[in-house]
Structure 1
Amino acid sequence: MTLFTGTAVAVTTPFKEGEVDYTTFEKHIEFLIDNGMQSIFVNGTTGEGSTLTEEEKLELVRLAVRVSDGRVPIVVGTGTNNTAASIEHSLKVKEADADAIMLITPYYNKTNQRGLLAHFTAIAEAVQLPVVLYNVPARTNMTIEPETIKILAEHPYIVALKDATGDMEYLKQVRAIVSTDFTLYSGNDDSIIPFYERGGDGVISVVANAVPAEFQAIYETYASDPQEAERLFNKVSPLIDALGVDVNPMPIKALVTELGFANGEVRLPLVPLEEEDSKVIHEAYQAYKGEA
């Protein structure tokens, strides 16, 4: 099963005086779908899912599902380092009519490869929704080994991998041993061209919160004209680099504020960008708009 190909967005969560700004969230979802996003990922790292209450998370899912109205799949980050809690929340997300869930590797009380097999399989079998595995060793300090992915990919509900390793050799190994029905998405905006070159099926993007149509155009162009796709990527690359000025999602929150889809607020332990860093992002965005 393929949830989507092309560009999905790990959507930000706007706040207003400490509360979730649901009205602005709805407007942002509509903007993203209208501008070519193939899927919306809710309550992930970029959406500050770890600082949202359960009811806030569920309301964001309900809103995303309602706004999408079947136009694109809504995928929800429900993975934690507690298998039972992940199952419980995933079942509530299923009741809210999400199309799929994304499961990060356990963190802090990280496990081994046998534990990963048991953890992901238990959730998939209990919830019975399509599962996107999320491999982001920079945040969790562990990885899903290719042979583990091969076994997991045989499960009927485990359908895709978000690969945020940035390691093209890892991608090559995984692509070689899983079925073509198992979908591989980049979790890194800065390496989508080599990812597509090695058989990747799309990207779950941060920068697409602000430039959705432009990032989808890179994917669509790559199939027929890789050189032109690389030229398009090179135009947006300085903006992607600027988002590395501080820890995600603080920089993208500053960028979407320029578009009216946030007001710069984040929840502790995150803090708003310092003024000079916000300036870096502002200037990169203005330069990109001038080129686009």
Structure 2
Amino acid sequence: MTHIFNGVGVALTTPFTNDEVDYDALEQHVNYLLENNIQSIIVNGTTAESPTLTTEEKENVLRQVVSLVDGKVPVIAGTGTNNTQQSIAASKRAKELGADGLMLITPYYNKTNQRGLVEHFTQIANAAQLPIVLYNVPSRTNMSIDPETVEKLSHNEYIVALKDATNDFDYFEEVKERVDTDNFALLSGNDDNVVEFYNRGGHGVISVIANVIPGEFQDIYDAKQRGEDIEEAFKPISKLLEANSVDVNPIPVKVLTAYKGFGQYEVRLPLVPLPEKERQALEAAYKSYQAGDL
């Protein structure tokens, strides 16, 4: 296989302290992920609160992560926007800073049609000349990449994967039938569906909860590759995910990253922190998970 990665990639959070990016906490977090068998790190995506990061902050975060990772796993930069030329510029800059790949979301607000998607992604891919993960998340963008469009794009040598956050397995099966899965990776964008996703032949996940349980989440994938039944082993994680679904991502998971010492519990507006009662309940669920009580 020539997949950019298999198994668990983490959609990295951005730690803040006093509304500034906390680069010391970022270093601690990345080292923790590397020590716990993460297979890829995705920087400056939705979970990173990228819409509220400045260009300088995005570049500094990417530069630091690339330096810390030092080639151990792929570093994938989120550079997609609803402006093709801006995406090209950001993608080229990410390449200069050492990114191993790019993640490109579909255009949002000024959404296009399927022909426009082909042109948008193709121009970015050909300009950047890095491996590209397409990101299909219609719940956030109000548009989807049709299976036929994924098939067309998969013929581009640089477009190598799809992060599928549709949670639609009919869609998954049609895409799987249309692409060369030896050379094009199908990655889940939903932590809660990975058991079925893996059982149906998915190659991995770009995960939010892996910010705090990277090793345990990778263990599920590894067990599946050994031919084991993973449903029972996933049940405690499923309960933790249920607790983490109390609000929109990344508001809840940053409770857990802060609990582990990776920055303060801060998000940037328009996101707001959980009320204290809900924060305590989520921390309690995580403690129960760690103790083996979920």
Partner of residue 205, structure 2: 203
Match of 2:75 in 1: 74
Which residue does 1:284 correspond to in 2? 285
Counting aligned pairs with the same residue, the percent is 54
Structure 1 match to 2:37: 36
- 2:262 counterpart letter in structure 1: F
CA distances 1:239-273 after superposition (whole Å, capped 9, x unpaired)? 11111100100000011111101211111111111
- Following superposition, the deviation at residue 275 of structure 1 comes to 1.1
Q: How many Å separate the matches in 2 of 1:222 and 1:263?
A: 35
Determine the structure 1 residue equivalent to 2:51. Answer: 50
- After superposing the two structures, state which structure 1 stretch, 217-226 or 165-174, moved more: 217-226
Structure 2 unaligned regions, length at least 5: none
Q: CA RMSD in A?
A: 0.9
Please give the alpha-carbon distance, in whole angstroms, between the structure 2 residues aligned to 1:157 and 1:230: 34
One of 223, 226, 245 as aligned partner of 2:225: 223
Letter in 2 for 1:234: K
Large movers: runs of 4+ above 6 Å: none
SS in 2 for 1:247: coil
Cross-structure match for 2:248: 247
Distance 2:242 2:10 in 1: 17
Q: In 2, distance between residues paired with 1:191 and 1:276? A: 28
Please give the residue correspondences for 1:1-292 in structure 2 after superposition, counting only pairs within 5 Å. Answer: 1-180=2-181, 181-227=183-229, 229-291=230-292
SS at structure 1 position matched to 2:133: strand
The secondary structure found in structure 1 opposite 2:139 is helix
| Contact 1:218-1:230 at 8 Å conserved across structures | no
Q: How many residues align?
A: 291
SS of residue matched to 1:236? helix
Letter in 1 for 2:242: D
State TM-score, norm by structure 1.
Answer: 0.98
Q: Deviations over 1:78-126 (max 9, x none)?
A: 0000000000111111100100000000000000000000000010011
SS for the counterpart of 2:245 is helix
Which structure 1 residue ranges, 5 or more long, are not aligned? none
Q: Describe the superposition over 1:168-212 as per-residue Cα deviations: whole angstroms up to 9, x where unpaired.
A: 111111011100210010000000010011110000000010000
Give the Cα–Cα distance (whole angstroms) in 2 for the partners of residues 284 and 257 of structure 1.
15
CA distance in 2, matches of 1:125, 1:209: 32
1:16 is displaced (CA, Å) by 1.0
Rounded Cα–Cα distance in structure 2 between residues aligned with 1:186 and 1:280: 27
Alpha-carbon contact 1:131-1:160 (below 8 Å) kept: yes
SS of 2:252's equivalent?
helix
Q: Distance in 2 between matches of 1:282 and 1:19?
A: 24
TM superposition score normalised by structure 2: 0.97
Task: Write the deviation string for residues 15-53 of structure 1: whole angstroms up to 9, x where unpaired.
Answer: 111110011101101100110000000000001111101
